[in-house]
Amino acid sequence: MYGRLFTLACAADHNLIFAWGMEIVDTDDRTAVLYRRDPVTRQTMHSVHDSAQAALARFDTRPEPMELVWMDMPDHIGLLWDLLDAAAPH
């Protein structure tokens, strides 16, 4: 089993992230777990999808087009930890 991080981001600017996710692949199964926080209500939301592509299809009905962006580069992992640290209560 292995996991791969991704974001659902604005197609025009990948720095505008709608949600963070991880696709988990096993020998005969694929699942994507998605996390996002509503910018207005600050409500945290989690969802589970059949794949990262399925998560994109579920949320790509918004007015601005989104893209699936795989987080394979080490700087993206650092960015994720920085964002998590900034969001954590201190």
Q: How confident is the model at residue 73 (pLDDT cuts 50, 70, 90)?
A: low
Per-residue pLDDT of 1-25, as tens digits, reads 888 899 999 999 999 999 999 999 8
Question: What Cα–Cα distance (Å) separates residue 39 from each residue in 54, 57, 76?
Answer: 23, 21, 21
Where are the alpha helices (H) located in 1-90, listed in sequence order?
Answer: 52-59, 74-87
pLDDT of residue 49: 96
How distant is the alpha carbon of residue 16 from its chain centre? 11
pLDDT of residue 71: 85
Mean pLDDT of 60-80: 76
- How many CB atoms within 10 Å of residue 86? 8
**With 90 as the cut, is the pLDDT of residue 77 above it?**
no
